[in-house]
């Protein structure tokens, strides 16, 4: 196997519709596969899970001298990460309580229905643009307290930021990085401004909760508020779009499972978990070892860029029976779709509710729908992978 070019092949746009055979190559090539540029890929489930829990693996890009601005808590290590994550979670309510996210259920159903009501029998629609894209952005904007008329602003910012967050070996990324920095600054400025308008006038949204926190020890600085709000919007948006779209694509490709779900919608929560394993929206995450780390006899050298290929771990036959099969009744499905360890997805409960509501609402419509283009056109991004469009005929 030509391991030097494996990452280049994974990120090659031509392989976006089906990167899974490359992940098989990766797992077979060893626990750690070194690339020509010195970076390393890890594709086995057990190794990835162990590394995600290893405090010697840093998520902070400043460890390698990249990035000057303060990263959001997704890319911070403890104890800084823990402090910000805890503060950012406070407006969601105490852990394990129904809280704000559960209160969003009715709102999510309403937004879903509003979108579906615009479709007509016989029409061709784009699942991405007409359904999967508008839903999560409306939900996260509602949760944060962004007025409806400003939602379109987020689409442009979000596209630019996601392009800047991609993994692109051997490419000059200075232009996309610059555009990403500018979008982050603009979006952060907008959100801080919006939060300031709520100071002293608490309402039930998250920005208001952040800015009206009474305890000074629990208050975010303005920079932290901007970074956290931008993180919630981006992390909570692009990923959920891809989960819903991947769900529609998978069910239309495998109508027997669509039929099964239509007969037994109680299976939806399990089907969503299986989608997070089988077609996860987040394919890889980067970490940087703070010391030399031994992984099944191979060494991850301190300071190297290590790419943990979560989507490969999800298809590892050493962990999952028949890993390339989509099985909504799969027992013991502890996938890596939401990551693991201290950075385990903060928005997982919300993402689950959204995907279950969206796919549940689509079930009857999909029964007579067909894919117009298979494979559909994909987004450029290899890390946050998903179709750019998914045209279907109703
Ligand atoms: C299907 C939808 C989603 C998927 C697949 C997903 C996936 C992930 C993954 C894999 C991570 C771990 C990243 C790492 O270890 O480096 C993560 C972290 C995170 N996610 Fe999600 N996510 C989704 C939806 C959401 C939503 C709706 C929100 C916000 C409301 C959100 C907010 C976050 C945040 C803030 C983090 C960072 C957590 C930390 O560093 O402690 N995500 N997500």
Name the DSSP class of 256: H
The rounded Å distance from CA 136 to ligand 1 centre is: 13
Atom 39 in ligand 1: which residue has the minimum CA distance?
A: 343
Strands 285-289 and 40-42: unpaired
CA distance 270 to 264: 11
Name the DSSP class of 128: I
Atom 43 in ligand 1: which residue has the minimum CA distance?
A: 345
Ligand 1 site, residue 145, Cβ cutoff 6 A = no
Tokens coding 370: 């067909």
Ligand 1 site, residue 51, Cβ cutoff 6 A = no
Instruction: Give me the phi and psi of 63, to 5 degrees please.
Output: -60, -35
Q: For a ligand 1 pocket test, name from 338, 341, 357, 381 the mutation site with the most ligand atoms within 8 angstroms of its C-beta.
A: 338
Q: Write down the pLDDT at residue 1.
A: 45
Ligand 1 site, residue 247, Cβ cutoff 6 A = no
Packing angle of the helix pair 151-164, 134-144 (nearest 10 deg):
110
Question: Within 13 A of 121's CA, how many CA atoms are on the CB side?
Answer: 3
- Of 8, 14, 67, 65, give the one whose Cα is nearest residue 41: 8
Peptide bond into 225 cis (omega under 30): no
Q: What is the residue-level pLDDT of the chain in tens, covering all 394 positions?
A: 455 589 999 999 999 999 999 999 999 998 999 998 889 999 999 999 999 999 999 999 888 776 667 788 999 999 999 999 988 887 776 655 557 777 788 889 999 999 999 998 889 999 999 999 889 888 888 888 899 889 888 878 887 877 776 655 556 667 777 888 888 889 889 999 999 999 998 888 888 888 888 888 888 888 888 888 888 888 888 899 999 999 999 999 999 999 999 999 999 999 999 999 999 999 999 999 999 999 999 999 999 999 999 999 999 999 999 999 999 999 999 999 999 999 999 889 899 999 999 999 999 899 889 999 999 999 989 999 999 999 999 9
Q: For a ligand 1 pocket test, name from 239, 273, 278, 381 the mutation site with the most ligand atoms within 8 angstroms of its C-beta.
A: 239
Spell out the domains of the chain, with CATH numbers in brackets. 3-386 (1.10.630.10)
CA distance 329 to 224: 41
Q: Write down the pLDDT at residue 201.
A: 87
Tokens coding 301: 């050298």
The rounded Å distance from CA 394 to ligand 1 centre is: 32
The rounded Å distance from CA 176 to ligand 1 centre is: 22
Atom in ligand 1 nearest the alpha carbon of residue 281: 5
Ligand 1 site, residue 92, Cβ cutoff 6 A = no
Tokens coding 350: 């919300």
Tokens coding 108: 């999510």
CA distance 204 to 389: 35
The rounded Å distance from CA 165 to ligand 1 centre is: 14
Q: For a ligand 1 pocket test, name from 85, 347, 357, 385 the mutation site with the most ligand atoms within 8 angstroms of its C-beta.
A: 347
Ligand 1 site, residue 347, Cβ cutoff 6 A = yes
Map residue 270 onto helix, strand or coil.
helix
Ligand 1 site, residue 47, Cβ cutoff 6 A = no
Atom 17 in ligand 1: which residue has the minimum CA distance?
A: 345
306-325 in b/e burial notation, b at 16+ Cβ within 10 A? bbbbbbbbbbbeebbeebee
């Amino acid at each position: 196997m030509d391991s030097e070019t494996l990452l280049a092949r994974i990120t090659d746009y031509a392989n976006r519709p089906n990167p899974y055979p490359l992940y098989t190559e990766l797992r077979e090539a060893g626990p750690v596969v070194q690339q020509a540029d010195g970076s390393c890929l890890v594709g086995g489930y057990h190794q990835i899970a162990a590394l995600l829990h290893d405090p010697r693996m840093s998520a902070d890009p400043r460890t390698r001298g990249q990035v000057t601005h303060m990263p959001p808590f997704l890319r911070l290590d403890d104890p800084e990460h823990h402090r910000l994550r805890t503060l950012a979670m406070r407006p969601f309510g105490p852990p394990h309580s129904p809280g704000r996210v559960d209160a969003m259920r009715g709102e999510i159903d309403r937004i879903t229905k509003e979108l579906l009501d615009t479709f007509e029998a016989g029409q061709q629609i784009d699942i991405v643009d007409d359904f999967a894209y508008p839903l999560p952005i409306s939900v996260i904007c509602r949760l944060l307290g962004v007025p409806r008329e400003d939602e379109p602003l987020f689409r442009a910012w979000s596209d630019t930021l996601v392009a800047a967050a991609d993994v692109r070996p051997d490419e000059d990324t200075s232009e996309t990085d610059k555009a990403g920095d500018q979008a982050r600054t603009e979006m952060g400025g907008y959100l801080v401004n919006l939060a300031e308008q709520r100071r002293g006038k608490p309402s039930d949204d998250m920005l208001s909760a952040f800015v009206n926190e009474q305890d000074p020890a629990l208050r975010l600085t303005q920079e932290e508020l901007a970074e956290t709000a931008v993180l919630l919007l981006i992390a909570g948006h692009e990923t959920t779009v891809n989960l819903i779209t991947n769900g529609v694509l998978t069910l239309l490709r495998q109508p027997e499972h669509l039929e099964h779900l239509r007969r037994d919608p109680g299976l939806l929560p399990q089907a969503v978990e299986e989608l997070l394993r089988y077609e996860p929206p987040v394919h890889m995450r980067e970490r940087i070892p703070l010391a030399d780390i031994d992984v099944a006899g191979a060494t991850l050298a301190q300071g190297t860029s290590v790419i943990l290929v979560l989507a490969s771990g999800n298809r590892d036959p050493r962990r999952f029976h028949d890993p390339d099969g989509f099985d909504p009744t799969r027992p013991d499905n502890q996938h890596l779709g939401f990551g693991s360890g201290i950075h385990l997805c903060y928005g997982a409960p919300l993402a689950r509710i959204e995907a279950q509501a969206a796919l549940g609402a689509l079930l009857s419509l999909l029964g007579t729908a067909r894919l117009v283009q298979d494979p559909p056109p994909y987004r450029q991004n290899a890390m946050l992978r998903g179709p750019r469009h998914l045209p279907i005929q109703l």
